[in-house]
């Protein structure tokens, strides 16, 4: 499981000209799921996200978590995070999980994150053509892969 986390001042996702979700201050999380991912990956990654200290404290140091600042979370499924570009110029997506595996893991990721953050988690729509808009704050962008824990 791979995420790109962007600290945002605001973010939204639009599907067919309709805004599905929007948030103010918090994280936009792009989530890529592979066929090897499990509940263990979800638990580890959601703990990392909730505990990630990248928000400024009273001294301007990045010392606070999204929970500390009562930030919002917007999770967008993104199979392209598992693109392989080793051969040629056309990416291969063989490592990305197929919908029958990815959808339950995505839904479980969102519900696990919600329990740990104790706030509503905003989402896009799995498999939809989404337009994501954000105002990156910092900019702060972090990549985390649950298969690279060391």
Query: What's the rounded Cα separation, in Å, for the pair 73 and 26?
Result: 6
Contacts of residue 102, Cβ cutoff 8 Å, sequence gap at least 6: 33, 77, 79, 96, 126
Catalytic residues: 80
């Amino acid at each position: 499981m791979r995420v790109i986390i962007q600290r945002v001042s605001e973010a939204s996702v639009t599907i067919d000209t309709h805004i599905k979700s929007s948030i103010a201050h918090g994280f936009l999380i792009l989530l890529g799921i592979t066929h090897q991912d499990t509940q263990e990956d979800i638990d580890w990654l959601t703990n990392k996200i909730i505990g990630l200290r990248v928000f400024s404290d009273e001294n301007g140091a990045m010392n606070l978590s999204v929970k500390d600042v009562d930030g919002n979370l917007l999770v967008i499924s993104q199979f392209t995070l598992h693109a392989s570009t080793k051969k040629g110029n056309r990416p291969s997506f063989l490592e990305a999980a197929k919908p029958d595996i990815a959808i339950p893991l995505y839904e479980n990721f969102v519900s696990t994150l919600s329990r740990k953050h104790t706030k509503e988690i905003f989402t896009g729509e799995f498999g939809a053509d989404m337009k994501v808009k954000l105002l990156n704050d910092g900019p702060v962008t972090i990549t985390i892969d649950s298969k690279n824990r060391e």
